[in-house]
Structure 1
Amino acid sequence: MAELYLVRHGQASFGSGNYDQLSEVGERQAVWLGEYFSQQDAIFDRVITGTMRRHRQTLDAIIQGLGRTVTHIEQHAGLDEYDFHALFEALGPQHGALKALRHGSKDDFFKGLRQVLQLWSEDGIDGPIPEAWASFQRRVSEARRAIQDGPGKRVLAVTSGGVMAVMAQQVLRSPADTAIALNMQISNSSFCRFFFNERAWQLGSFNCDPHLDRVDRRRYQTYA
């Protein structure tokens, strides 16, 4: 069977005017991940990212840590994150308190995000949104199919936490609640390892961050 290492981007710029930008911590996380892959002699014969800036920045830092040249990089929009800003913004007046959590502390934001994702999965958001939950599910499935149908025995793909959670949910054939719960657990620069062939997928490991599992790096374990 082939392998997919599905990586979440490094820490982005939470709370800034442009979230789609790695922080210095995020860059360091991704370099360390590349160094880990190099130490494991992991040679990827196919490399894919979403189309977001933080995805490509994470890949560039991984490549730096790998110390190897990557000559061909693909993009697939199915690996792009959902627009959490738009989901909060589309909440109606009856969800005013929930909408306000977006501007609270980081803990408030994640508490609110879980509720917003639940509403989204139940088609319970009143205002206009960029895509329905079913559409998000569909494009993640399309990205997974593109990986499955393409070449490569060891594939590296850089994406975001929501995509990782939904892909795991789909492979496990679990309900939407599973994707939401998993989404809340995924740390920056962690990876999931999948095995696949032309017929089936298996989840081998979830939310792994061995490159940060050291006493002197614990403070680099982040979630936003």
Structure 2
Amino acid sequence: MAVIYLVRHGQASFGKDNYDELSELGHQQAEMVGHSLAAKTRAPNVVITGTMLRHKQTADKALQAFGDGIGASTISSPDWNEYDHQAILGAFDARLATPASTKQYLADATNPKQQFMLMFESAIARWMSGEFDGDYPESWSAFKQRVHGGLNTLSEQLQSQQKAFVFTSGGPISLISQACLGVNDTELMRMNRTLVNCGITKIVLSKGKPYLASLNEHTAFEGDDLREFLTYT
């Protein structure tokens, strides 16, 4: 059997003009998950990242734990990119079209975080409904096709007993886990909200078919003295 470790990126720069960049804490998380991976498994035969900066930064930090043991070169593929949350928000409400306008809109809210989550959930539900596909640069069905295409390509590439690390985002991880578990789209988004930064999801390939071996493993950040490293953005 071949094995795929899906690693969610470290904490991004939520609330900043450029979300797609690790925070200082995110860099630390990436280093910690690298040591966690190195303690439990040998170096991978294949390393893939999405093309987003936070994916590449997470991979760069994490792979340092393997020293010169990494023989595989890192491949970047847009198949593993996250959905465009800003475009989804903007299609739902023009006041949420950019990070700056979102921040301005939420400035007067009594509970900005709660207000944002309510609007985000409604925006995602609208996108996933499939009724407004023309409003988005990438529809929900196109997103699913892209991610599953990336998984199929990787599955065909891996030989028996080989291992791959994929540094990606919560959306692709949730989508692949959904397919393995057979849960509906509502449960998928609930799952997505629980994925921690630099959590590890393990997929086992048997006769080319993916099976979920573990979901969102984050023992690297467990313990009272490590609470600050347990984040979700």
After TM superposition, the score normalised by the length of structure 1 is 0.90
Are residues 68 and 216 of structure 1, via their aligned partners in 2, closer, same or farther at CA, if it must alter by over 3 Å?
farther
CA apart distance, 1:48: 0.6
Q: Which residue of the partner structure matches residue 87 of structure 2?
A: 86
Task: Please state how far the C-alpha of 1:173 moved relative to its aligned partner.
Answer: 2.8
Q: Is the 8 A contact 1:38 1:65 kept in 2?
A: yes
- CA offset digits 1:103-148 (Å, max 9, x no partner): 4333432332222212211124487211110000100110110111
* Alignment partners' CA distance in 1, 2:39 and 2:3: 18
Query: Within 2, Cα distance between the matches of 1:171 and 1:102?
Result: 35
Cα distance in 2 for residues equivalent to 1:109 and 1:184: 14
Q: How does 1:50-199 map to 2 (within 5 A)?
A: 50-70=50-70, 71-91=72-92, 102-103=102-103, 104=106, 105-125=112-132, 128-151=135-158, 153-199=162-208
8 Å CA contact 1:6–1:156 kept in 2: the answer is: yes
CA distance, structure 1, for counterparts of residue 185 and residue 26 of structure 2: 28
CA contact (8 A) 2:27 2:61 kept: yes
**Equivalent residues of 1:110, 1:184 under 8 A apart:** no
* Residue 214 of structure 1: how far off its partner (Å): 2.1
Query: Which residue identity lines up with residue 32 of structure 2 in the other structure?
Result: W
Q: Secondary structure at the match of 2:195?
A: coil
Deviates more, 1:156-165 or 1:198-207: 198-207
**Residue ranges of structure 1 left out of the alignment (5+ in a row):** none
What is the aligned-residue RMSD (CA, Å)? 2.3
Q: Partner letter of residue 67 of structure 1? A: G
**Residues 44, 114 of structure 1: CA spacing in aligned structure 2 closer, same or farther, 3 A cutoff?**
same
Q: Which residue in 1 is equivalent to 2:109? A: none
- Cα shift readout 1:10-50 (whole Å, capped 9, x = no counterpart): 00000001001000100000100111112224321111110
**What residue is the counterpart of 2:47 in the other structure?**
47
Question: Which runs of 5 or more structure 2 residues have no equivalent in the other structure?
Answer: 107-111
Q: TM-score, normalised by structure 2?
A: 0.87
Distance 1:2 1:186 in 2: 23
C-alpha spacing 1:215/1:131, structure 2 compared with 1 (3 Å): same
